[in-house]
């Protein structure tokens, strides 16, 4: 690693290590893949699956007046499979993005981790394998099932996901120890250095940093308001609505009004949860991208343009999700478009990152 | 690195390691059983109703509601701790450049780290006998997080160059 005259590591040189590049590329790749999966999941799986679950619950309730318990149990088995399908897709999306965030953060932290280069490289390679394995394993849980599993309830895909998660926790603990050694000045011959920040922060970083911080505060406020509303108001909860469905079925009354209430409740909960999660998730992405702007080898004008597009898309995504209450699929399309715009901006920054490493290599 | 950086980065990395360990433990030993319990309780509600036993049906649905609330809290604990730890590390890299004095920055860092630890713990503690303590911790953690984030946003907006106010 090249040091400056003051003995510090210039920020552009942070990328001049195989280890940091490995984390950075793995991180941006995972974030992009996770977002792409989220978009595909929302369009092709989430809405059709919700409709199937609603239909199955309706069919189970309709079987109550006839006392057909076999039919009820059959419908609930189907519901279990639909829920597992949906749940594993959501988890693969969120874990892929979260592992991407973690990888980028570890890339930025590398100069402060006091281990030998060989140790850091081995940990980085193992981390990349596990970080990519985790969302893929979660995604395949629904399809692999319990085939050839030695356990009663847990299949091979779950075992792979758990093993990857456990290994990542160990790798984070190794980084923690490395940071501790750095701060304790344990030894001074490790592969570490202080980062010398540029004298002026470029416009793109400022746009992303301010946008991310404001969005994060809004996300916190929204989450607190939603939690307060659902915890401390007397709004009808799921058990009340299900009890009403059961009562109507036993009295052989129409189930339509109860199921309209149930659908409304599930939509309210799902949309609010998704809006809160995406507000915070996109805010974290903006903050991360603000930190890696010095590594992006594009002109200042284009960096600012991509940063503005990123901030607008990050704000538009949760707003579009919220608008689904009123505008349904139109707002859903807006949310997907916002996600796509964010992915394009992210891909442009990844391109700039690749150009930077190419330039460093040619030097 | 300054004290405020160390507070946030150390607590963030510690939290991320712990929430990963929790996630693995939860996936292996608890999540599957909880999900099966939820499904069986809801199904029992419908089956009891089909048998004409209204009281048993309501009791089963009530049980479903309790297991679903437990599941929600466990998932929220894991998810919130994971994402809050990322936020701690992120601000840990730049907090020394916010437009405040050194003691104020250390105070903000300590407040953010404490609140980010306490809030998800409060959510988890709401399962079981310490539910009241859990609720108090969750509310205090929420207030702490909002205050800390508000102070950070003001610090960011006050300085045109957030890295530049060391």
Q: Are A213 and B153 in contact (CB < 8 Å)?
A: yes
> What residue numbers bound the domain in which A147 lies?
10-196
Q: Which of A255-259, B86-90, B155-159: highest mean pLDDT? A: B86-90
CA distance B95 to chain A (A): 12
Which pLDDT band holds residue A2 (cuts at 50, 70, 90)?
A: very low
pLDDT, one tens digit per residue, over A163-197 is 999 999 999 999 999 988 888 775 445 555 544 44
Residue A7 CB neighbours (<10 A): 9
pLDDT computed for residue A9 by the predictor: 44
Mean pLDDT, to the nearest integer, of A358-362?
67
pLDDT, one tens digit per residue, over A258-317 is 999 988 888 888 899 999 999 999 999 999 999 888 878 889 999 999 999 999 999 999
HSE of B120 in the Cβ direction (CA atoms, 13 Å)?
A: 21
Q: Are B149 and A172 in contact (CB < 8 Å)?
A: no
Q: Are A250 and B14 in contact (CB < 8 Å)?
A: no
With contact defined as beta carbons under 8 Å apart, do A152 and A83 qualify?
A: no
pLDDT computed for residue A362 by the predictor: 67
Residue A166 CB neighbours (<10 A): 17
Distance CA A50, CA A239 (A): 19
Residue A64 has its nearest CB partner, among B13, B23, B50, at B50
Q: Which residues of A touch B9 (CB under 8 A)?
A: 109, 179
Q: A98 and A234: one domain?
A: no
Which pLDDT band holds residue A100 (cuts at 50, 70, 90)?
A: very high
Q: A170 and A234: one domain?
A: no
Percent of chain A scoring above 90 in pLDDT: 47
With contact defined as beta carbons under 8 Å apart, do A4 and A79 qualify?
A: no
Distance CA B102, CA A207 (A): 25
Q: A234 and A153: one domain?
A: no
* ipTM field: 0.87
- CATH, residue A89: 1.20.120
Is there a domain that residue A1 lies in?
no
Distance CA A42, CA A89 (A): 10
Residue B68 CB neighbours (<10 A): 19
Q: A121 and A218: one domain?
A: no
Segment A4-8 long-range contacts (CB within 8 Å, at least 24 positions apart): A4/A196, A6/A196, A7/A193, A7/A194, A8/A193, A8/A194, A8/A195, A8/A196
Q: Are B161 and A206 in contact (CB < 8 Å)?
A: yes
Among candidate residues A141, A169, A196, the one where a domain is terminated? A196
In sequence order, what E strands does A243-338 have? none
Q: A24 and A101: one domain?
A: yes
With contact defined as beta carbons under 8 Å apart, do B104 and B147 qualify?
A: no
Distance CA A258, CA A246 (A): 9
Q: How many CB pairs under 8 A join A and B?
A: 163
Task: Give the N- to C-terminal CA distance of chain B in Å, as an integer.
Answer: 11
Q: Is A326 exposed, middle or buried (0-12, 13-18, 19+ CB in 10 A)?
A: exposed
Q: A144 and A292: one domain?
A: no
Tell whether A168 lies on the interface with B, counting CB pairs under 8 A.
yes
Among candidate residues A140, A170, A196, the one where a domain is terminated? A196
pLDDT, one tens digit per residue, over B100-132 is 888 999 999 999 999 999 999 999 999 989 999
Q: A73 and A148: one domain?
A: yes
The radius of gyration of chain B's CA atoms, rounded to the nearest angstrom, is 21
């Amino acid at each position: 690693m090249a040091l400056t005259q003051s003995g510090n590591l210039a920020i552009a040189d942070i990328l001049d290590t195989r280890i940091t590049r490995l984390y950075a590329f793995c991180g941006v790749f995972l974030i992009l893949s996770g977002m792409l999966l989220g978009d595909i999941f929302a369009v092709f799986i989430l809405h059709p699956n919700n409709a199937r679950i609603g239909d199955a619950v309706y069919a189970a309730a309709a079987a109550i007046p006839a006392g057909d318990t076999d039919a009820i149990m059959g419908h609930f088995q189907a519901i279990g499979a639909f829920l597992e399908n949906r749940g594993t897709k959501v988890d693969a999306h969120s874990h892929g993005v979260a592992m991407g965030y973690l990888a980028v953060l570890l890339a930025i932290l590398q100069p402060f981790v006091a281990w030998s280069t060989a140790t850091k490289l081995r940990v980085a390679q193992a981390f990349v394998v596990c970080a990519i394995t985790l969302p893929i394993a979660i995604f395949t849980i629904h399809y692999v099932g319990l085939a050839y599993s030695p356990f009663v309830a847990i299949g091979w895909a779950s075992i792979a996901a758990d093993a990857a998660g456990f290994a990542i926790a160990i790798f984070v603990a190794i980084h923690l120890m490395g940071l501790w050694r750095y701060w304790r000045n344990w030894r001074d011959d490790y592969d570490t250095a202080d980062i010398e920040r540029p004298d002026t922060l470029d416009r793109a970083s400022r746009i992303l940093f301010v946008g991310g911080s404001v969005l994060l505060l809004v996300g916190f406020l929204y989450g607190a308001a939603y939690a307060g509303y659902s915890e401390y108001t007397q709004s009808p909860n799921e058990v009340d609505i299900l009890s009403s469905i059961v009562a109507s079925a036993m009295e052989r009354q129409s189930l339509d009004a109860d199921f309209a209430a149930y659908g409304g409740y599930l939509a309210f909960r799902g949309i609010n949860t998704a809006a809160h999660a995406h507000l915070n998730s996109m805010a974290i992405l903006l903050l991360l991208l603000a930190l890696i702007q010095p590594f992006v080898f594009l002109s200042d004008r284009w960096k600012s343009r991509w940063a503005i597009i990123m901030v607008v898309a990050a704000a538009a995504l949760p707003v579009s999700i919220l608008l689904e209450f009123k505008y349904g699929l139109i707002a859903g399309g807006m949310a997907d478009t916002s996600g796509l715009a964010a992915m394009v901006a992210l891909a442009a920054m990844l391109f700039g990152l690749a150009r930077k490493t190419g330039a460093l290599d040619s030097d | 690195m300054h004290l405020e950086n160390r507070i946030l980065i150390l607590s963030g990395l510690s939290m991320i390691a712990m929430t990963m360990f929790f996630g693995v433990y939860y996936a292996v030993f608890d999540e599957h059983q909880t999900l099966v319990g939820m499904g069986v309780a809801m199904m029992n509600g419908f089956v009891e109703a089909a048998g004409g036993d209204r009281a048993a049906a309501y009791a089963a649905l009530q049980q479903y509601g309790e297991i679903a609330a437990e599941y929600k809290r466990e998932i929220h604990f894991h998810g919130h701790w994971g994402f809050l730890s990322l936020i701690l590390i992120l601000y840990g890299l730049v907090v020394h450049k916010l437009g405040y004095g050194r003691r104020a920055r250390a105070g903000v860092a300590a407040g953010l780290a404490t609140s980010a630890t306490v809030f998800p713990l409060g959510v988890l503690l709401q399962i079981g006998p310490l539910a009241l303590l859990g609720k108090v911790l969750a509310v205090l953690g929420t207030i702490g997080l909002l205050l800390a984030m508000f102070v950070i946003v003001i610090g960011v907006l006050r300085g045109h160059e957030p890295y530049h106010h060391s």
